[in-house]
Structure 1
């Protein structure tokens, strides 16, 4: 995805796609997106911009309260910070392909746990169903963003 930062139009499209889903992901400014990509364990996209994923391992310099929650509990993990599929690409398996790629990269790097959070309030039923189908299990909950959002913390291990 570093190529997106060199391609200004693609970088703007990535930012626009992310920010169109800010309720689920969080709003980003261009500089923050650049920083996140530079810290990522894995940054992938499908097509020109059908979908993208950003994930961090436990060593990332990242201040997300959700990431910090996992860091306080697990010595090694890969944290899925954001994944989004463009409306025009939904239903084509993009999210599953990105997760499959992430699971393979995580395993090759010696990680046995992939984690994420999903909004509980406001609810995100599609994400809940997707993660359950992949074998993610709830490992905690928290109120974040000054209580305006409640999240469910999920974990996937090869045995789960």
Structure 2
């Protein structure tokens, strides 16, 4: 079994993070170095997962009261006073099946508990469909509370909330 290490992301990781994001851009959204630098500066949680010293995944999340201009983040910010918002989680296809996404989410929920944050929020595509993301989020107790069209009407997302117990 491969050893997986989670650690805080650093600027030295950004090239690898961008490559991972580019490979899944249809499910996330485009991100260049400048945007990643901004998101990292706004994030409360930004970790990478290493497998054999290779970056296999990353998770980037923000707390409430940031200046993040994402329409999905703003939707949650308008409704909830305290939360942590998963902006993106990406696992390399090369490392599929190792449960790296689950390790990152478990760590994020531990982070939320340690910081007395009662809810984790996120969204995932429902048009075009992303059944893998739905299944993954269902395992963590996420529930849909609304939907919205984004990206100039080209994507519909399911707005999700999970309580941190």
How many residues are treated as equivalent by the alignment? 155
Residue in 2 aligned with 1:91?
97
Match of 1:35 among 14, 17, 38: 38
Match of 1:13 among 7, 13, 16: 16
Give the structure with the larger helix fraction: 1
Secondary structure of the residue that 2:101 maps to in structure 1? helix
Match of 2:28 among 25, 30, 35: 25
Residue in 2 aligned with 1:105?
111
Give the structure with the larger strand fraction: 2
Residue in 2 aligned with 1:70?
76
- Does structure 1 residue 131 correspond to structure 2 residue 134? no
Cα contact 2:60–2:87 (8 A) shared by 1? yes
Structure 1 segments of 4 or more deviating over 2 A? none
Runs of 5+ unmatched residues, structure 2? 1-7
How far did 1:56 drift?
0.3
Secondary structure of the residue that 2:136 maps to in structure 1? helix
Please report the TM-score for the alignment, with normalisation by the length of structure 1: 0.93
Residue in 1 aligned with 2:5?
none
